[in-house]
Structure 1
């Protein structure tokens, strides 16, 4: 995967994660990039057999053609929704990108941060609702935890304009040019000092995302 961005998107195949995926394909994914979908299931949520070998390290990378197959995904007790699969097939064809799925089992917050380091990801996009099917089984917000502990640039995509995401650190999420908090701009970008410079987004690229959101906000108020 050397030479291209490795973009991660946390998914649970809900409407929230689908919106995060759409945002990533529209704003981040470029021709030739690699897209890694990260999904986290509860511990033990798999059929007996080879799945047990992957509980600690996560599954192998599953190509798009395979996780589009209901028979294969039944082993993982997963059923990707048709809308997400259609979006992925379209972007894979149009932008000639590699799309894979990696499944983890355990605490979504910890496993997503683990994926960032182990894959490793150039950046991550996540919905502000976390991973819906298991969110009641864990404490706190998945996206909050990942933003504060992940070692790559993180973008959090809001599910709804009527449900604003609360900033936990106003300074970290303030855009220096517009002076607006990034939560007001419908996304977060957390740049961590411990991040590898070679995988960092440029400020020009981040500002491009912000400008696009500012234009959308202006249109909403006009």
Structure 2
């Protein structure tokens, strides 16, 4: 690798506090202010679900609902992109690429790793138990087994009572 070529870090974010925490952890640990010339290029990826997968409607009236659901998903993604930009700016990380890709998070993140030839994929952990993970699936578990790079699963510390 050439000296000027930076390794790529892809961070998967979603609307949850866990995804945002993963981004914050990455910035705090890999983009420290004491290193003015970061050795990494940061790419933040949000997998936006499709209107069809979110609405899950079949039958009459579905065609009228999809545009409303799609517009809401786009607004939600725009809010998340702004939140990621604000977080990066607040920590003086300005060389960041943010991508919103429609699709299942598992596939979107693994595809982003391939597309950008990433060295590290960082994802948050929702902390689901075995039953919820079996029913809902685990993006972090899937990526740990299928992404062709190192996968860092960041857990958000539990709040102290």
* Correspondence list, 1:38-77, <5 A: 38-44=45-51, 76-77=74-75
- Is this contact kept in 2: 1:123–1:152, CA < 8 A? yes
- Is this contact kept in 2: 1:20–1:127, CA < 8 A? yes
Structure 1 counterpart of 2:18: 16
How many residue pairs get matched?
Answer: 126
Pair 84,111 (structure 1): closer, same or farther in 2 beyond 3 Å:
closer
* Correspondence list, 1:60-99, <5 A: 76-77=74-75, 78=77, 79-80=79-80, 84-91=84-91, 94=92, 97-99=94-96
Structure 2 counterpart of 1:25: 27
Q: Secondary structure at the match of 1:121?
A: coil
TM-score normalised according to structure 2 size? 0.65
Please tell me whether residue 158 in structure 1 is matched to residue 155 in structure 2: yes
Pair 145,34 (structure 1): closer, same or farther in 2 beyond 3 Å:
same
TM-score normalised according to structure 1 size? 0.48
Residues 35-60 of structure 1: CA distance to partner in whole angstroms, max 9, x if unpaired?
11111011248xxxxxxxxxxxxxxx
Partners of 1:39 and 1:12 lie apart in 2 by 6
Structure 2 counterpart of 1:116: 113
Higher share in strand: 2
- Is this contact kept in 2: 1:44–1:105, CA < 8 A? no
Shift of 1:12: 1.3
Pair 107,75 (structure 1): closer, same or farther in 2 beyond 3 Å:
closer
Shift of 1:82: 6.3
Which of structures 1 and 2 has the larger relative contact order (alpha carbons within 8 angstroms, sep 6+)? 2
Structure 1, unpaired ranges of 5+: 46-73, 163-222
